[in-house]
Structure formats: structure tokens, C-alpha cells
Amino acid sequence: MDAFGDLLRGVRAQGSLFGSSTLTPPWSLHFVDGAPLTLCTVLCGGGWIVPERRPPERLGVGDTVIVRGPAPFLFVDEVGTRAEPVECGAFCSTPEQGGTRYRLGWHDAGTGGENSTTLVVGAYPVRGEISRRLLDALPAVLRVESGGGPGSVWDHLAAEVAADTPGQQVVLDRLLDWLLVCTLREYFDRPGGTPPGWYSAGRDPVVGGALRLLHEDPAAPWTVASLASRTGVSRATLAKRFTELVGEPPLTYLTHWRMTLAADLLTERETETVAEIARAVGYSDAFAFSAAFKRTRGISPSAYRRAAATPSPAAGRHTPMTRTRASAPTR
């Protein structure tokens, strides 16, 4: 597993509410549920994404934008539109309220035509510290222009959303995953871009190999010498090259990754002791693990587990995994 793939493993659509909106001007969709990641792509027509306290972003045919939450944002026909905002969020629909094509209280604004816009929107929950490392590498609004991503995915999306066939939900989930990964990859690979070190380093034959080893078996007793031997270079060469490309030495990176894994295990494996979590991420000594955890995260493993178990004020509020087939009424 490479670093990029590992960070994406907790960002996955499953049973998503996934659909399209066919909109006739004027319209204003107000996305309010605070999803950590929301992906919007235009199949036909165009409009504007208006994030909170951020400049508007124009979306044309084939353009895709990813908005990082939790701040709400608008999708409008034009900046300053006269349309009243229609809220889209936790109460747009649930899977029990009509599947992909029909949503509670919603209807298509139009049946298409010259001035209509078809928007596909999907919102992702992001669970755990692993996925938050990916979020930390993203800007508030990420845009990939038409032609930058996998062109055929839009055709698949349009065809599948319009259908009502067995297995549709699984197909939509996988299409959404495909589009998200390809959009992120295209953004990181753009000319003049500044991708995170762990992403660009993955293409290096030496450092990329070392990163894959660390992610495939983070609990192994790695040393710089053993990593260098496995990647076919000297210890000094690996240490220098890794630090230059990733931004930190190999074993520092490994410690941070182990602590990220441990943070999620502490909340997921509630019946396991701190010592058992320590062994799972490569520490035979629970005291050494606790010291490393507190040094990197500012809190002991036990205190972290207790804090994670304390319900937040927002606990229990339903947030759908993706937003729905929603549209503003024709004016």
C-alpha cells in the first residue's frame, strides 16, 4: 500500500445518497450539513460554487470541485442570484425515502434544455486520524478543470444516476470513489502544484519503495539500515533522499504514522489495553509507546481514548454520506 492509498482507505462511499440535480435558472442550493469533503461535478451547463468566506469558483461542463468542510457553501446559477437558497443536507433524504431517483419533497426543476445544468454531488464523511492526514493536505476549495480527469466517468455517472437497476447503489459508491481519487491525483499532479511530500515522494524509486515498506508493515522493527538494504541504497543516501522529499527523516515519519494508526485503534478497539495497541503498532514496551504518543499528540493514550469516548454536542446528528437529487423550483 502506498501512502496516498493508505490515507484514502478511511474515505470511502458506502450506501451513499448519490444523485444529480437538473436545474433551470435561477437556482441556489445551500449545502449545510458540514461534510468534511464534498465533491461536485457538472455534467452539462454550469454554475458557481460559493464557499463561505472564499472567492466563488466557476464550474463548467466536466469541471469538478472538492470543498473541504465543515463550512457550508452554495451552488448558484450566478453570483448574486435572485433565487432563494434551498437547503440541502441532513434532511434532504435517506435511503428509505425513495432511493436514488426520488427524494423527500424534491423534484426536478426542469427536464433539460439549453439553459439547464446537471450537477452531481457527493459528500464524504471522514473518520479517524488516518483520513484527517489527507484533509490536512487539501485546500479549502480544490478545482480540476474539464479534461483534467477521467472523462468517461461523467458518462457513467449520468447513465447510472438516471437508471433504477439492481446493484445501483454499489455502482454509484464505486463511481464516486473513482472520481474522488482521480480528482485528487490530478490536482496533486498539476504543473506548478505543491503536493504533500508523501505524495510526490511516492514516485521516487527509492523513497517510494521505502514508504511502501513502512505502510505495508508499520509494526516491523524498521531501522534506516534495514530500509536502505531493502531499497538497494546506502543508509546515508536513503536518509538524505527521504528527508529531502518527504520533509522528515524515515524513522520520524514512521513514528508519526504509527501514532496516527494507534489513535484510530484506541477508539476502534475499545476492549484492548494500551499495551495491546502498542504491540499492534510495533512497540513491545507500553511505556515507550505512551511516551511517543504523548510527545507527538500532546496527550497520553488513555486520555485520548477517554476524550474520544465523550460525546460531542453534535453527536447523534445525522449527516448523509452524499447529497441528493435536489433542485430549485423553476422561477
Each residue's pLDDT tens digit, 67-108 = 988 889 999 999 999 998 888 764 443 344 333 333 323 334
Question: Is 80 exceeded by the pLDDT of residue 176?
Answer: no
Per-residue cell: 94 = 435517506
pLDDT at 251: 97
Each residue's pLDDT tens digit, 117-135 = 877 777 777 778 888 888 8
pLDDT at 102: 33
Of 81-85, 103-107, 111-115, 149-153, which gets the smallest average pLDDT? 103-107
Start-to-end CA span in the chain (Å):
51
For the chain, domains (ranges, CATH) are 3-188 (2.60.120.10), 198-298 (1.10.10.60)
Question: Is 80 exceeded by the pLDDT of residue 310?
Answer: no
Question: Is 70 exceeded by the pLDDT of residue 43?
Answer: yes
CA 119 to chain centre: 19
CB burial of 49-77 (b: ≥16 within 10 Å; e: otherwise) equals bbbeeeebbebeebbbbbbbbeebbbbbb
pTM, two decimal places: 0.77
CA 155 to chain centre: 22
Per-residue cell: 300 = 497520553
Contacts 24+ apart (CB under 8 A), 301-307: 301/262, 301/266, 301/274, 301/277, 302/274, 304/263, 304/266, 305/266, 305/267, 305/270, 305/274
pLDDT at 12: 62
Each residue's pLDDT tens digit, 178-194 = 888 888 998 999 888 88
Question: Is 90 exceeded by the pLDDT of residue 157?
Answer: no
- Is residue 83 within 8 Å of residue 328, measured between CB atoms? yes
Residue 328 region by backbone torsions, left for phi larger than 0, else alpha for psi between -120 and 50, else beta: beta
> Helices (DSSP H) in the chain: which residue ranges?
3-8, 128-136, 152-162, 168-188, 197-200, 207-216, 224-231, 235-246, 250-268, 274-280, 286-297, 301-309
Q: How far apart are CA 246 and CA 53, in angstroms?
A: 32
